[in-house]
Homo-oligomer: A and B are copies of this chain.
Amino acid sequence: MQLLEERIRRDGVIKEGNVLKVDSFLNHQMDIKLFKEIGKEFKRRFAGEEINKILTIEASGIGIACVVAESFDVPVVFAKKTKTKNIAGDVYTSKVESFTHGRVYDIIVSKEFLTKDDRVLLIDDFLANGKALEGLADLVQLSGATLVGAGIVIEKGFQVGGEIIRSKGIHLESLAIVDGMDEKTGTIQFRKQKWDDLD
């Protein structure tokens, strides 16, 4: 998605250790106009798919998911992160390993809001090692709902997450795939996608 790649080039900051900071428009301050365009692009890439619910994960996925949901005219459910063992039987639970924070946490979603009749699109801001997305896919499977696909704003193509998700046969669409970054020159290399020619 050209608009997004241009924005990442302009406002993204490359930090040591392959960190890409995009918190001026994506995950701390949020550019809602850009989110609208992101929503239209996901709608284009999942055209013809029957989707009745978007599932995301707190916190930075929520804003994007809600604006994207307008393009699909569906409600959003967000999975909650929790470190407390959930004793109630009214939630689906999965485990997510966070490399950033060096710990494992549970993600939960109320059984009420994910059922076998749902056709679910996963939405998140970043895909790196794929653990969060795998956790969300787990919740969908536990509920008996149908996983239609996953929409990611920025995929780190040099990490394993994208390959893992695609190898499971999940329809994954990443609007920008970063194949390489150079901290010293500030350059970012984006993967060419078939959608680019249709822009």
Contact = CB atoms under 8 A, between A and B. Distances in A.
Contacts of A23: 110, 113
A59 B32 contact: no
B65 A67 contact: no
Nearest to A31: B75
A117 interface: no
A29 B59 contact: no
B75 A63 contact: no
A interface, over-half SS: mixed
A113 B28 contact: yes
A152 interface: no
A35 interface: yes
Given A24-B112, A28-B113, A78 B63 contact: yes
Contacts of A75: 25, 29-32
Work out how many copies of this chain go into the complex: 2
**Central interface residue in A63, A73, A74, A78, by most chain B CB within 10 Å:** A63
A75 B30 CA distance: 6
A139 interface: no
Interface string A28-68: 11111101100000000000000000000011001111110
Contacts of A76: 29-30, 32, 63
A153 interface: no
A171 interface: no
Interface in A14-30: 23-25, 28-30
Interface string A67-88: 1011001111110100000000
A109 B25 CA distance: 14
A166 B167 CA distance: 55
Interface of A: 23-25, 28-33, 35-36, 58-59, 62-67, 69-70, 73-78, 80, 109-110, 112-113
